[in-house]
Structure 1
């Protein structure tokens, strides 16, 4: 492809599994087609056979992500950063194990506290949280929103962004108001797996051609992602690690140079305070 190492290409949300999946090899595949920078999200604890019960259980899973992120940085022309937190569907697993919604809420907030320790030390860039993308009862919904609001409080304390896994849709102004109430800047709330246009958070748009065109034509801040799962039983799910570089080349061919500058340089700097040009070799 036409990109050179002087052209940043960031995948804002993917998973690398050093235990069960391709790990660094997926980062190498991303690099081979022009990718330069990655934000690596921790996989849910149960992917490592870990039924979390305390802070140390969360820490064990986070260490896998930190390890693969460091090793991936070594093969990228740019670098990788870790984003750590608690997957919102954990609440359903905990309730199935006998936790009340309130007990599940408290444990998930503990997991976020642990993730925030890594942000404070500089080992992680941002936090992740959210709420179930499927129907749940009122008690679970309330507990999940409390977990997310706790993430916003931590984001304010540690001056970092928060990536959200939530239900679909385009209207999330209430969520960003919660972040503002906690002391976070609204634009530092990132909607993972976003559609091309949303109201409230900064969209991290799944690299689907139609949604990327919507985002590019809007002229607003956005980023691109694959949500690559790195599961050998689901190869390529959700999208493969080569997708963002290839979609970037496609958008460039369509004449969207300004949008690509927004996605790969301006928005990452605005949201995460990272410089994808200065961090290129």
Structure 2
């Protein structure tokens, strides 16, 4: 069972403070023993922002920082913001708003530039980028890769991690090499919504038992997440905020104490340079 000295981190979830559960989801997480959160900004258009310039993303980032501040009032540990531009925006720009792929690339890179300002000023922990997880034409794919590599450039300059939303795969060594070319160690690239096996970046494993069993058996660095989306139109989508604490209990009950330490203490420090134990003690 989770005790008072066990950090429990959900590495990737979204909260909507205005239109759905918001801080109540944090209460659910904390009640079951959750202590730390990495809160990723929702896609800009989900918050009513149809960006025309990079500066337009600032309202999305500020709202995310607001909910992180509120979450910190409830958690025994703490929360951090992860800020960036959802890669699915490129399809919205090209297919719905008539942008050319290179115009969409430039706008999304400008949004990443604004997110990087928050990392540089220590208001955010890491960046978010990636590429579509669905089929797109070559021009959109190339533009998306350019946006992702732009995020890696900031990651290399700032010494921060980059979380990726990308296609389902167990092999992203080329992407990890791009990050290293930009000055980022491969392990500071995090693939969110990952399976238990991934070559290249660090996997942020979706917290179902099948995927976790694979990650535990491999013994490599990994993180745990829910990708909770806090969407009133999709209340059962992905995993709920109680899931990571429940899965940590399940791991502990099955004797996987080392795996819990791996996912909730060692890998967060390796990837983000954060100490979940020290922040828990200080709380």
Let me know the Cα RMSD of the aligned residues.
0.7
TM-score with structure 2 length normalisation? Answer: 0.98
Q: Deviations over 1:194-214 (max 9, x none)?
A: 010100000000001000000
Q: Tell me the residue number matched to 2:120.
A: 120
TM-score with structure 1 length normalisation? Answer: 0.98
For 2:233 and 2:102, the matched residues in 1 are separated by 34
Q: Tell me the residue number matched to 2:88.
A: 89
Q: How does 1:106-145 map to 2 (within 5 A)?
A: 106-145=106-145
Q: Which runs of structure 1 show a deviation greater than 6 angstroms over 4 or more consecutive aligned residues?
A: none
Q: How does 1:246-261 map to 2 (within 5 A)?
A: 246-261=246-261
Shift in alpha-carbon separation, 1:236–1:35, aligned structure 2, 3 A: farther
Q: Report the Cα offset of residue 237 of structure 1.
A: 2.1
Q: Tell me the residue number matched to 1:161.
A: 161
Question: Secondary structure in 2 aligned to 1:199?
Answer: coil
Q: Tell me the residue number matched to 2:9.
A: 10
For 2:33 and 2:175, the matched residues in 1 are separated by 35
Q: How does 1:128-207 map to 2 (within 5 A)?
A: 128-207=128-207
For 1:5 and 1:251, the matched residues in 2 are separated by 16
For 1:236 and 1:12, the matched residues in 2 are separated by 19
For 2:236 and 2:98, the matched residues in 1 are separated by 34
Q: Is 1:230–1:236's contact at 8 Å kept on the other side of the alignment?
A: no
For 1:49 and 1:261, the matched residues in 2 are separated by 39
Q: Tell me the residue number matched to 1:235.
A: 235
Q: Report the Cα offset of residue 233 of structure 1.
A: 1.9
For 1:120 and 1:42, the matched residues in 2 are separated by 17
Q: Does 1:41 align with 2:24?
A: no
Q: Report the Cα offset of residue 236 of structure 1.
A: 3.6
For 2:18 and 2:53, the matched residues in 1 are separated by 22
Q: Tell me the residue number matched to 2:52.
A: 53
Q: Tell me the residue number matched to 1:223.
A: 223
Aligned length: 280
For 2:16 and 2:3, the matched residues in 1 are separated by 27
Q: Is 1:189–1:201's contact at 8 Å kept on the other side of the alignment?
A: yes
Question: Secondary structure in 1 aligned to 2:279?
Answer: coil
Q: Report the Cα offset of residue 4 of structure 1.
A: 2.5
Q: Tell me the residue number matched to 1:27.
A: 26
Q: Is 1:264–1:276's contact at 8 Å kept on the other side of the alignment?
A: yes
Which structure 2 residue ranges, 5 or more long, are not aligned? Answer: none
Which structure 1 residue ranges, 5 or more long, are not aligned? Answer: none
Q: Is 1:131–1:165's contact at 8 Å kept on the other side of the alignment?
A: yes
Q: Report the Cα offset of residue 55 of structure 1.
A: 2.1
Q: Deviations over 1:84-142 (max 9, x none)?
A: 00000000001120110000000000000000000001010000000000000000000
For 2:42 and 2:166, the matched residues in 1 are separated by 16
For 1:236 and 1:224, the matched residues in 2 are separated by 19
For 1:272 and 1:56, the matched residues in 2 are separated by 26
For 2:55 and 2:147, the matched residues in 1 are separated by 19
Q: Report the Cα offset of residue 19 of structure 1.
A: 1.2
